[in-house]
Structure 1
């Protein structure tokens, strides 16, 4: 049984207590921790709708409905994992480069201790701070990005740091291995063919939403696992991967996306993925009046926790070996 886990919902009601993810203990030291959930309440890297700074709070509130046993993977999360909510990383609203630095500094000690990081965004620009912390511990990682946009533009309004440029900046900084990275779910209107071709030119593999449907969920999961191999991986889920019918509360919605059951089924197919971190980003509560987007985001994190617990149950290390460096390093 993990050292840190939620209280028994049959002894302490779900609506009571301080609001943390899944009502986990709020702990600020990595000792005895396998996984830490961290809020990343920054949204002024967004180029359209803002409000994702309130995403971590909404996801935590929705997460109180989650229970410890995953019936599809047949695993109790907290029999195999010690999980905490580490609170929110400090940010400076309106100052993106400073906020990215603060996020990385906050997360680095956790990553260095071998703790798997789960970020609650925040707009997608927060990914750069997360990757800086993770790469400091593991070297460049494989990026698995579920998203309707590639986020590989070079600049917006003459500025190089936005939620739409974050993956290009991560590649330039040597934080991810493009040859082991994959983007799944791209769709919607674009400025021109170069928008997606630019991602391919950077070395990323792209599976558009249409291609993923043709491959099927099982085939898409297999393609992700083959691309990553046994390299330390970071999973980044932009909630706009899902169709706005299921996730209306997001910054840049695109129709023709995935149903909630499709996305969760795809995640379940990634069992064995050697994750060192993940995030779910772009949840905007102001555009989510029924709370369904936040609830879906909480369940995305739950699926990843189940993957990590199943990996531990099956006798695999929780993450790739600390200090290991991928090919080319």
Structure 2
């Protein structure tokens, strides 16, 4: 596939596409399509995640194609296109969810695997709605500090703390096949997580993950998902605030970047993912750029795991 050779052209030169992919590749059918969703109207605290896609693309310029952990070259086994950003309507959450869904639908309907750069976490609801139209309900692997299953905020249904309440209610995900990992921090009430648990969603708290260890929890997650097609959503506040200060609702007592990458790589090798996103990168709260770098490193781990599967003739993407 066409991309800029960073041994011949400095990384600070040229158009800021993901990993310096030639923008003309967007015109071709690719194994993976990178798409930005610059939207943060649904945030409840700090705004600014609308600039997340740009920050993630900027951070990705430093990435190289070969993954030493999995011993695989991403671009040797996958074609990847940066297809730009989808439509949003700042200030209008419900309307933006419809616009995002409609723009993403052709990608989910094709053999490509959409990899989405957020944006606040409300956008995942639009992604799952688009995916459901072509594939029905899927398993959800969700890394986050927050469950995001609150029914409403401020008397309104859509918020970055509510997407998975609606995803369960609308039948977009299979709760009995889905799992949330790393949920921690103070809650609005003792019973705030009762409803998703009663619907069959497995919620692994941050404390449980610390006590049991990542390998044990991932073994449970992989057994739960099994061979069901799945969607991976990664909120950067899964990471401890020390590793991801640039986010709208940071939490302490979290996890390292190394732990996150290990879990994503393991999941990517074992699960048939049909899409993924990284959300809640808020660059103006992190002048160092380490949050965006962590976010694109998660995507790199995901892409490397897809390439690893492809190198072993294992299926990737949505069953056709």
| TM class, shorter-length | over 0.9
Q: Is the Cα contact below 8 Å between 1:221 and 1:267 reproduced in 2?
A: no
Deviation at 1:320, TM superposition (A): 3.8
Is the 2:17–2:57 contact (alpha carbons within 8 Å) kept by the matching residues of 1? yes
**Contact 2:48 2:284 (C-alpha < 8 Å) held by counterparts:** yes
Equivalence for 1:279: 277
| Aligned residue number for residue 266 of structure 1 | 263
After TM superposition, which residue ranges in structure 1, 4 or more long, deviate above 3 angstroms?
27-31
What is the distance in 2 between the residues matched to 1:28 and 1:54?
23
TM-score after normalising by structure 1? 0.94
1:72-111 mapped onto 2 (5 Å cutoff)? 72-111=69-108
Aligned partner of 1:326 in structure 2 is none
In structure 2, the residue corresponding to 1:303 is in which secondary structure?
Answer: helix
2:194 to 176, 194, 197: 197
User: How far apart are the structure 1 equivalents of 2:85 and 2:25?
Assistant: 10
CA drift at 1:317: 1.2
Once residues 201 and 25 of structure 2 are traced to their aligned partners in structure 1, the CA distance between those partners, rounded to angstroms, is: 35
Q: Is the 8 A contact 1:24 1:83 kept in 2?
A: yes
1:172 to 159, 169, 173: 169
Which sits farther off after the overlay, 250-259 or 209-218? 209-218
CA contact (8 A) 2:139 2:225 kept: yes
Residue 26 of structure 2 contacts residue 82 of structure 2 at CA under 8 Å; is this kept in 1?
Answer: no
**Structure 1 residue 199, shift from structure 2 partner:** 2.0
TM-superposed deviation, 1:7: 2.0
Higher mean C-alpha displacement, 313-322 vs 122-131: 313-322
* Partner residue in 1 for 2:110: 113
Q: Unpaired segments of 5 or more residues in structure 1?
A: 323-329
Residue 51 of structure 1, CA deviation: 0.3
Preserved CA contact (<8 Å) 2:230 2:272? yes
| CA shift digits 1:279-305 (9 cap, x unpaired) | 000011111111110111010110100
CA deviations 1:153-200 (Å, max 9, x no partner) are: 000000011111100111112111111110000000002221222221
- Partner residue of 1:63? 60
CA distance in 2, matches of 1:249, 1:29: 29
Report the Cα distance in structure 1 between the residues aligned to 2:277 and 2:184, rounded to whole angstroms. Answer: 21
Counterpart of 2:6 in structure 1 is: 9
Deviation at 1:263, TM superposition (A): 1.0
For 2:15, the equivalent position in structure 1 comes to: 18
Aligned Cα RMSD in Å? 1.3
Aligned to 1:315: 313
Partner in structure 1 of residue 300 of structure 2? 302
Helix, strand or coil at the partner of 2:260: helix
State the TM-score, normalized to the length of structure 2: 0.97
For 2:195 and 2:111, locate their aligned partners in 1 and report how far apart those are by CA, in whole Å.
33
Residue 123 (structure 1) aligned with residue 111 (structure 2): no
With 283-292 and 22-31 compared, the bigger mean Cα shift is at 22-31
Q: Secondary structure at the match of 2:193?
A: helix
Q: Is the 8 A contact 1:30 1:115 kept in 2?
A: no
Distance, in Å, in 1 between the alignment partners of 2:198 and 2:230 is: 21
2:139 is the counterpart of 1:138: no
Tell me if the contact between 1:27 and 1:86 (Cα under 8 Å) persists in the aligned partners.
Answer: no
SS of 1:195's partner is coil
Once the 2 structures are TM-superposed, how far is the Cα of residue 5 of structure 1 from its aligned partner? 4.7
